[in-house]
Amino acid sequence: MNLVQFLRILMARKAIIIATLLASLVTAIIVSQLLPPRYEARSRVILDLIKPDPVTGQLIATNMLRNYISTQMQLIEDLQTAEPVIDKLGWANDPALIESYARATDGKGTDIRRWLAQQIADNTKASMVEGSNILEISYRGSSPEFAKQIADLIRDTFIEQNLRSTRETSARTADWYRDQAERAKADLTAAEDARTAYAKANGIVLDATNTDLESQKLTQLSGASTLPATITSMASPAQTQLDQVDQQIQLAASTLGPNHPTFIALQKQRQVLAAEVARTGGGGGVSAAQIEGKFQAQKARVLGERDKIDRINQMQRDIDMKRDQYQKFASSAAQLRVQADVGETSLEPLGNATAPEKPSFPNIPLIIGGSIGLGLALGVGLALLVELLNRRIRSDTDLEHAAGVPVFSVVGSTRNPNGLVSRVLRFIDRRNRRRGELAEA
């Protein structure tokens, strides 16, 4: 079958095509009028994607943005967002809806809340506005005001759940940091007690800066021994140290309690220094030789206790590390507890949903256009089927094909040879004949 034959069949069976087209069109119009209208309301939310995570303090990685946005859209369309909407509307206690649920489940259903939430979720869609960080929530309802109400409720519920999730996560993390801070504090207290016990057992006295007294005395004597020999007298090092300790005690009395280990150590240090000052005769002068002798004696004493001093210094470094850990844990726990109490979310509502003026379904222009295309396709198919079942000779070409002999002339043509259809058919026929001749050549 060539194009000319195809067109001749369509012209001959045009009544079938037109009837099928009209039937399809009328059916589409009737159906579009019978279908209940559906109105689509849209509500929008701004996603603050550049705000650090309140728990971790980190920004969302670029390669994770797609997954994060997809997760938010899935949550909007999920039952866990729709079920609180049902609670706010009070649908689970509506007698009419309870009766509808009983009919739908033959009286065997036990979870009307989930059944109603599924209907909300089925009509909810979430999408990103292209080129922005705006998340659009759409809901299709039976009336404009109903669709607007549900769209706003879904948006508000989604934001509330996001905020609640953030608070719960912050609270759990804060509890974890608090537990770690308590453990770190216990470790710190144990380390301080161990250092104090070790210093007491080995006769090591520490000042407010946690420096042992013997090393401090050696440092002062070292500075005094380097003075020129012409200086015949100077203030007693013990007296100088006693003055310094008195100042430290005054400062510690205003900040520390009387039972604090550091305050007790300062008092013991002062007793030792006071005894030393009394033994050397107070603040009288000493010669350079005496200073040098005291320096060498103190040096030998410090070197003899070097292992103990190193051990106490190591214990002090361990205490400093544990104190730093405790402060970090305590600070994080306090910050997260504030976050859990106040709560922040990366979602911000953008206005309210607007009631749609026209229904989004049924789309009458789309239905009519589709019915026309479907009617034409069905009409052409039926025309070809009828022609196949009841084949007729409609042109000289058909006669040549059926008889197997050439046609010399056509007599009694009822179609106007100068008409548009005749000219189009002759043009197509000439082109087909020319192609056939070229193929034979």
pLDDT tens profile 106-142: 877 778 999 999 999 999 999 998 888 899 999 998 8
Higher pLDDT, 183 or 223: 183
The predicted model gives 270-287 an average pLDDT of 67
Residues 148 and 220 in one domain: no
* Tokens at 81, concatenated: 């967002």
CB burial of residue 184 (10 Å; 0-12, 13-18, 19+): buried
Q: Where are the alpha helices (DSSP H) in 202-212?
A: none
- Phi, psi (deg, nearest 5) at residue 18: -65, -40
Whether 248 is in a domain gets the answer yes
Whether 357 is in a domain gets the answer no
Structural domain including 81 reads: 34-174+341-350
The pLDDT confidence band at residue 233, using thresholds 50, 70 and 90, is very low
Whether 291 is in a domain gets the answer yes
pLDDT of amino acid 278: 74
Residues 52 and 169 in one domain: yes
Whether 260 is in a domain gets the answer yes
CB 212, CB 204: distance < 8 Å: yes
* Tokens at 25, concatenated: 């069109």
Residues 91 and 165 in one domain: yes
Residues 14 and 125 in one domain: no
pLDDT of amino acid 229: 45
pLDDT tens profile 79-105: 999 999 999 999 989 999 988 998 888
SS3 397: helix
pLDDT value at 183 more than 80:
yes
Whether 179 is in a domain gets the answer no
- Mean pLDDT, all residues of the chain: 78
Residues 77 and 218 in one domain: no
Q: Of 329, 350, 371, which closes a domain?
A: 350
The predicted model gives 35-47 an average pLDDT of 88
Give the contacts of 54 (CB within 8 A, at least 6 positions apart): 166, 170, 339, 344
The predicted model gives 12-18 an average pLDDT of 87
Residue 22 to residues 9, 31, 293, 366, 381, Cα–Cα distance (Å): 19, 14, 126, 16, 15
pLDDT of amino acid 295: 62
The pLDDT confidence band at residue 157, using thresholds 50, 70 and 90, is very high
Residues 333 and 262 in one domain: yes
Higher pLDDT, 60 or 310: 310
The predicted model gives 156-168 an average pLDDT of 89
Whether 180 is in a domain gets the answer no
Whether 101 is in a domain gets the answer yes
Higher pLDDT, 46 or 50: 46
Residues 395 and 278 in one domain: no
* Tokens at 252, concatenated: 């510690």
Residue 125, strand partner residues: 138
Overall number of domains in the chain: 3
Residues 302 and 257 in one domain: yes
Higher pLDDT, 393 or 97: 97
Whether 355 is in a domain gets the answer no
Instruction: Among 6-20, 274-288, 341-355, 363-377, name the most confident range.
Output: 363-377
Residues 206 and 259 in one domain: yes
pLDDT value at 162 more than 60:
yes
The predicted model gives 257-280 an average pLDDT of 78
Residues 27 and 49 in one domain: no
Residues 134 and 226 in one domain: no
Q: Of 350, 374, 408, which closes a domain?
A: 350
Residues 201 and 331 in one domain: yes
pLDDT value at 168 more than 90:
no
Give dist(CA 23, CA 395) in Å, integer. 31
